[in-house]
A and B are shown apart, each in its own frame.
Chain A
Amino acid sequence: MKYAYYPGCSLESTARAYDLSVRAVCRDLAVELEEIEDWNCCGASSGHCTNYRLSHALAGRNLALAEREGLDIAVACPACFLRLKSTRHEVRADARLKKELAELIDLPYEAKYDTKHLLDIICREVGMEEVGKRVEKPLTGLKLVPYYGCFLVRPPKVTQFDDPENPQSMDILMDALGAEVLDWSGKVDCCGGSISITKRDIGAKLVSEIADAARGVGAEAIVTACPLCQSNLESRQGSQALPTFYFSELIGLSFGMKEANTWFRRHLVSPVALLASHGLL
């Protein structure tokens, strides 16, 4: 199984632990990730909020570069995932945009290949049976709530992944790793994204509502597939903050990967004491 890998900017900086754990886990599961050469930022929400054509062109350049390799794209950041997905979606529906895009990026783009989120690849392509076979150190006793946020599952006509109101993939995955997965109401709530930078009070309110919902069902930690959710949750909860894991870190931990320690050291809310209390470190 081979994909063109689009790490996205966050995974090069604030979410290094996500990138490192994704690469390690994929190596173990025989998912080959070939980084797209010379990829650029997809523009994130600032792109589509303020300039429609710019947003599609920034995403489109990456899509065109990956198409040259003849591979589907694997993405870790849900924001990048949705940007790349929407550009392909619109190019396929709109011949005028397709023509205009080729002129803007000065590259051919036929929208042949798909973009998939790594959670999807691990859950549906690799499959729970394969994942289950590798588990050496089950996450027994660790009480988790899976947090999907916005762009993994919305809008469903573009993301084509899991249920938009009550997604299950991360629940099933964490269950396969041996963790205790709790049902909760915050699964697809929005953490506010970059509003945490521009309107700190609004961001803090949204994050504390999510954290309260998690604590309310007895969770010890939150697990996410989004770099911005992760950093918002770890930096805006205030005191008694719940640690927030990337799903790939917990896969790596359950596979018995030694380097898992080095990922956890990068967290703003250290999960070390929690993991040690369950004999997981």
Chain B
Amino acid sequence: MQFTSEQAQEIGNPAFAKRVKEISGTTLDRCYQCLTCSLGCPVNFAMDYLPNQIIRMVQLGLKEQVLKSSTIWLCATCESCVTRCPNEVDVLRVMDTLREMALREGVKGKETVIPIFHETFLGSIRQWGRQHELSMLLLLKLKTRDIFGDLGLGVKMLLKGNLKLLPPRVKGSKDVKAIFEKTKGEI
């Protein structure tokens, strides 16, 4: 792959690579760039870097480019790279690690809607203990200013009795809140 001079300058800073390996517990060094992961990736056509390139970039310590990439958010978590990698590189676990690092370090990357989705989805669990689709989707629409997209679909679901109006009741919802509190800190 080609590197810009800006990227080339960052090469040689091994701390990032080391940290990703530690957190993900994944043996990145075994990757021999066979491209199996990227060929089978269902969203490869939409990513700015392919999964095999992300692995290489992590090895090289290109922290900023990696954490700002659209790839880490577009990854649909389908587990096919994990299943097919001949060297047991857990590419998805690496993606998870990178997403978590990007959020915790407040990195604003190219992809904005998907992180908001995750935040909204988890916010609903935090509040109710279970997912409440209707209020979650409405809040997501407000946050992403996408008020009219999919409106027809939502109405259809409601009419079919497939969206609950009232949120769920979980007695242990305070236990769930406690879990959210305790996992807020460090990775």
Q: Give A34-69 as 1s and 0s: 1 = Cβ < 8 Å from B's Cβ atoms.
A: 000011110111111111111001100100000000
Q: Is B122 on the interface with A (CB-CB < 8 A)?
A: yes
Q: Is A268 on the interface with B (CB-CB < 8 A)?
A: yes
- Find residues 70-113 in chain A having any chain B CB closer than 8 Å to their own CB: 82, 103-106
Q: Who on chain B is nearest to A14 by CB? A: B162
The answer to whether A41 touches B153, judged by C-beta atoms less than 8 angstroms apart, is no
Whole-angstrom distance between the alpha carbons of A52 and B175 in the complex? Answer: 18
Taking CB atoms, residues of chain B closer than 8 Å to A52 are 23, 96-97, 100, 187
Whole-angstrom distance between the alpha carbons of A267 and B80 in the complex? Answer: 29
Whole-angstrom distance between the alpha carbons of A189 and B97 in the complex? Answer: 24
Q: Is A198 on the interface with B (CB-CB < 8 A)?
A: yes
Interchain nearest-CB distance for A55 vs B (Å) = 9
The answer to whether A51 touches B183, judged by C-beta atoms less than 8 angstroms apart, is yes
Q: How large is the interface on B (under 10, 10 to 19, 20 to 34, 35 or more residues)?
A: 35 or more
The answer to whether A268 touches B156, judged by C-beta atoms less than 8 angstroms apart, is yes
The answer to whether A14 touches B157, judged by C-beta atoms less than 8 angstroms apart, is yes
The answer to whether A49 touches B42, judged by C-beta atoms less than 8 angstroms apart, is no
The answer to whether B83 touches A47, judged by C-beta atoms less than 8 angstroms apart, is no
- Find residues 211-256 in chain A having any chain B CB closer than 8 Å to their own CB: 235
Q: How large is the interface on A (under 10, 10 to 19, 20 to 34, 35 or more residues)?
A: 35 or more
- Find residues 111-167 in chain B having any chain A CB closer than 8 Å to their own CB: 113-115, 117-119, 121-122, 125, 129-131, 133-134, 137, 140, 149-150, 153, 156-157, 160-164
Cβ-defined partner of B164 (8 Å) among A13, A150, A266: A13
Taking CB atoms, residues of chain A closer than 8 Å to B113 are 198-199
Which of A50, A61, A103 neighbours the largest number of chain B CB atoms within 10 Å of its CB?
A: A50
The answer to whether B131 touches A106, judged by C-beta atoms less than 8 angstroms apart, is no
Q: Is A23 on the interface with B (CB-CB < 8 A)?
A: no
The answer to whether A150 touches B117, judged by C-beta atoms less than 8 angstroms apart, is no
Q: Who on chain B is nearest to A193 by CB? A: B76
Taking CB atoms, residues of chain A closer than 8 Å to B29 are none
Interchain nearest-CB distance for A226 vs B (Å) = 12
The answer to whether A54 touches B122, judged by C-beta atoms less than 8 angstroms apart, is yes
The answer to whether A40 touches B125, judged by C-beta atoms less than 8 angstroms apart, is yes
Main secondary structure of the interface of B (DSSP, over half): helix
Q: Is A272 on the interface with B (CB-CB < 8 A)?
A: no
Q: Is B86 on the interface with A (CB-CB < 8 A)?
A: no
Q: Give A177-217 as 1s and 0s: 1 = Cβ < 8 Å from B's Cβ atoms.
A: 00000000000111011110111101000100000000000
Q: Is B78 on the interface with A (CB-CB < 8 A)?
A: yes
Q: Who on chain B is nearest to A201 by CB? A: B46
Q: Is B178 on the interface with A (CB-CB < 8 A)?
A: yes
Q: Give B70-114 as 1s and 0s: 1 = Cβ < 8 Å from A's Cβ atoms.
A: 000010111110110000000000011101100100000000011
The answer to whether B42 touches A189, judged by C-beta atoms less than 8 angstroms apart, is yes
Q: Who on chain B is nearest to A235 by CB? A: B153
Taking CB atoms, residues of chain B closer than 8 Å to A53 are 183, 187
Given contacts A12-B168, A265-B160, contact A150 B78 (CB under 8 A): yes
Top 7 closest A-B pairs, CB basis?
A190-B78, A154-B79, A9-B131, A46-B118, A54-B183, A46-B121, A190-B42
13 interchain pairs, CB-CB under 8 A? A9-B130, A38-B171, A39-B170, A40-B170, A40-B172, A46-B121, A49-B96, A50-B115, A50-B118, A105-B179, A106-B178, A193-B76, A202-B46
| B binding-site residues for A, Cβ under 8 Å | 23, 42-43, 46, 74, 76-80, 82-83, 95-97, 99-100, 103, 113-115, 117-119, 121-122, 125, 129-131, 133-134, 137, 140, 149-150, 153, 156-157, 160-164, 168, 170-173, 175-176, 178-180, 182-183, 187
